[in-house]
Chains A and B, each alone.
Chain A
Amino acid sequence: MLTYAIRRVLAFVPTIFITLTLIFVVTRLVPGSPVWALIGNQSVDAARMEEITRQLGLDRPILEQYLEWLPRVVTGDFGQSIFFGRPVAEIILERMPITFALTLLAMIVTIAVGIPLGILAAIRRGGFLDYIGNIFSSLGMALPSFWLGFMLILIFAVELQWLPASGYRPLEFGFWPWLSRMILPVIALSLAQIGLIARMTRSTMIEVLGMDYVTMARAKGLREHVVILKHALKNAMIQIITVIGLTFALGLGGSVIIENVFALPGLGQLITTAAIRRDYPTLEGGIFYLTLVALVTNLIVDLAYAYFNPRVRYGK
C-alpha cells in the first residue's frame, strides 16, 4: 500500500509540469493585455504604455518569459498581482479556504445523500423511492447550477427570509454566520452531483447485488444490512469512488460560477475577475492552485480505490 502511494505521488511530477505549461500558454493566448486593464480610463501616451509593458516584462520573447517563469512558479512563487500589487500567493491563501470549504461541504452533502439514495433505490428497485430518486437526479443534472442558485436565493432568502442571500463571513464571526452563508451555495453546487452519484450507486449496487458472493453472504445467515453494506457496498464503492473524484473536479469548476452567484470571495471569483483584468500572475496562480486541489483529490481517490480493491495494491 505504501509503495503504491509513493508511486502515485511520483506520477504527480510530469502532470504538474504539463499543467503549468498549459496554464502559461492559455493565459497568454487570451487576447488583450494587462496594461490596458491597469491604465483603465486614464489617457496615457505610447511611451508610458511601453514603459509599463517593459516593467511587467511582457516585451521579452515569450519563450524567455516562460523559461524565467517556470522555475520560479514551481516553488509556488507566482509573483505580484498586477492589479492588487500584492503577492499572488498571499491573495490565494486568503481565498482558498472559502472555495475549499464550499467544495468540501458540497462533496460531503453529495456523498451523504447520493450514496444512501442510490442504495435504497437499488434495494427497492421499481419502488416509490426508486421513482422519486430518479426524478430528483434527472432534475438535478438537467438544471444549470447558476439558475438553481438564483432560485434558491429567491425562495429562501428573498421570500422566506430564512437565510442570507449572498456574501461571506469568516469563521471568526461565529459558526452560524459562516454556515448560514454557505448553505445555499452548497445546495446549488451539490444537487447535480447528488443525481450523478445516486445513479451511479444505484446501477453499480444492482449489478453487485446479483453476484454470487452476495447470495453466499445471505446463505451464511448474515443480517441483511451486513450483506448490503459490507459485502455489496464495499465492492460497489470501487466504481462509485471513481465518480466521486470526477464529481469533485466538476464541483471545483462549478464553484467558479456559484461563487459569483452568491458573491463569495473565493478562488473562483478571483479567477474570473483576474481573467477580465488580464492579471496574468493572479490568473495563473489561481488556476494552478485549483488544479492542484483537483490533482490531490485524484490522488486521494486513487488511494481510496486501492483500499476498496485489494487487487490494485499489488500491481506492478
Chain B
Amino acid sequence: MKHVAPIPAESQTGTSGSGTTAFHGAAEPALEIRGLQVRFPSDQGPVSVIDGIDLSIAKGEILGLVGESGCGKTMLARSILRLIPPPGRVTGGKIMFDGVDLLGLNHERMRPIRGDKIAIVLQEPMTSLNPALRIGDQITEVLKAHRPLLSQAERNALASDLLEQVGIQMASQRLTQYPHELSGGIRQRVVIAMALVCGDVRLLIADEPTTALDVTIQAQILELFTRLQAERRMAVLLITHDLGVIAQTAHRVAVMYAGRIVEIAEVNQLFDSPRHPYTRGLLLSLPRRGVGLPKSQLPAIAGSVPKLSNLPSGCSFYDRCPHHLEDRCQVSVPALEETRPGSWVRCHRWRELPAFELPADVKP
C-alpha cells in the first residue's frame, strides 16, 4: 500500500505565472486555481460559467464553497477533474496540483490522478452508484485501476476495511449487494468509501454531499467527513448551498456568485463580519430559531440569479444589491480586495457599508 506513483514534475511551471490580482493563496496549497475560465457555447455566443476564478486550498484544509444553484460551483469542481460535460470548455487559467498544471494534461495522463490523488463525491448517492454493478465491484475497480499489482482478495479486504471505516456494519457482506438494496445514507457512505479507497487521496471534492439526505443522516455524514479529513490530513473542497453545513465543517469559505468569487474568509470571520452584500443576504436568509416568523416572511435575497448570458455590465450582483450605486457599481467589475489578512471581498463599497450584525436567533 506504500506504493505511490510519483507525478512527473516535468511540466512544473512556477505558480506566479499570471499575476492579475494580489493572490489570496494558502501557505502550502494542495491545489491552486488561477484565473480559471469555463465557457459554454450558446445562441448568443460563448457564455462564461466560470469567469476568472482564483482559489487555493491548503493541505489539510476544508474549504467551503457556497452559492446558489447555477453559480458555477459544480462546474468548478468538474473542471478540477477535467470532467466538464461537452460542449463546455476550459478557456483559460491554470489548476496547479503537485506542481503540475492539470489543464495541460491529456486524458491518459489525467487518469492516474483521478480517483487516486483527487477524488469526488457527488450530490446524489442514488445516481452516483451504478445500479447494475455490485458495490464491492464498484469500490475495488478503483484499486484495479490504480493498484494493478494487488490481488482481488487484497482489493476486497481493502474495500471492506474502508466500508468499516465509513461506519458500515457487516462490511464484507455488503460488498455483494447492489445499490438498490441500500438506504440513501449507506449509499453515500459507500460513495465516500469508493472515493477514498486508494488511501492516497490528497484532495477530496465533495459536491453537495449531504443535500439529498435527511437531516439526521446529514449530520452523520458531515461528522464522517470531518473525521476522515482529520485522520488523513486531506484537503477538502466542500461545495454546498447550505451555510449551516459550512459553519459545522469548513475552515475557510469562498462565496461564489454568477461564476465569480465574491468573498473569501475564514469561517468565523465570514459569519462575524461578512463584507459582501450577497454574503450578508445569504446569512439573513438562514432559518431562525425560536418564535418563528410566519413562512411568508422568511427573508430572502430579492430578485433571482442573473442569466449568465446576460450579466450586468459592472458588478454581477448589481440588480439585487440594496447598496448599489449607479455611477460606480454599474460601470466596472469590482476587483477582489483584501479587507484584512486572509479576508477578501469583491465589492466597490465594502468600506462604506454599514456594520453587519447577525441576528442572535440565526443559527447557522
Contact = CB atoms under 8 A, between A and B. Distances in A.
Interface residues of A, number: 24
Contacts of B133: 230-231, 234
Interface in A234-265: 234-235, 238
B124 interface: yes
A40 interface: no
B114 interface: yes
Contacts of B130: 213, 216-217, 231, 234-235
A221 B111 contact: yes
Contact of B114 (A221, A230, A235, A309): A221
A24 to B, nearest CB: 43
A216 B128 contact: yes
A310 B137 CA distance: 14
Contacts of B127: 211-213
B145 interface: yes
B114 A218 contact: yes
Given A215-B83, A311-B178, A221 B112 contact: yes
A212, A221, A235, A308, most chain B CB atoms within 10 A: A221
Contacts of B85: 210, 215
Contacts of B78: 215
A244 B128 CA distance: 28
Contacts of A211: 127
B115 A220 contact: yes
A171 interface: no
A90 interface: no
B120 A219 contact: yes
Interface in A193-212: 210-212
A248 to B, nearest CB: 23
A230 B132 CA distance: 9
A221 B142 contact: yes
B245 interface: no
Contacts of B128: 212-213, 215-216
A226 interface: yes
Contact of B116 (A215, A221, A308): A221
Interface in A279-316: 308-311
Contacts of A217: 130
Contacts of A231: 130, 133
Nearest to A216: B128
B119 to A, nearest CB: 7
Given A212-B124, A221-B116, A226-B141, A309 B132 contact: yes
Contacts of B124: 212
A311 B128 CA distance: 16
Interface string B128-172: 111111000000011001100000000000000000000000000
Given A213-B127, A215-B122, A220 B141 contact: yes
A220 B131 contact: no
Contacts of A216: 120, 122, 128-130, 191, 194
A10 B130 CA distance: 32
Contacts of B119: 219-220
Contacts of A213: 127-131
A299 to B, nearest CB: 21
Nearest to A313: B178
A310 B131 contact: yes
A219 B132 contact: no
A216 B128 CA distance: 6
A81 to B, nearest CB: 48
B178 A310 contact: yes
Contacts of A221: 111-116, 142, 145-146
A59 interface: no
Contact of B180 (A215, A219, A223, A310): A310
B129 A220 contact: no
Given A220-B115, A221-B111, A310-B178, A235 B132 contact: yes
A309 B178 CA distance: 10
A50 interface: no
Contacts of A224: 107
B124 to A, nearest CB: 6
A210 B191 CA distance: 18
A96 to B, nearest CB: 35
Give me the 3 closest cross-chain CB pairs, A-B, nearest first. A221-B115, A221-B114, A220-B115
Interface of B: 78, 81, 83, 85, 107, 111-116, 119-120, 122, 124, 127-133, 141-142, 145-146, 178, 180, 191, 194
26 contacts: A210-B85, A211-B127, A212-B128, A213-B127, A215-B85, A215-B122, A216-B130, A218-B81, A218-B114, A219-B120, A220-B115, A220-B145, A221-B114, A221-B115, A222-B115, A223-B145, A224-B107, A230-B133, A234-B130, A234-B133, A235-B130, A235-B132, A309-B132, A310-B180, A311-B131, A311-B180
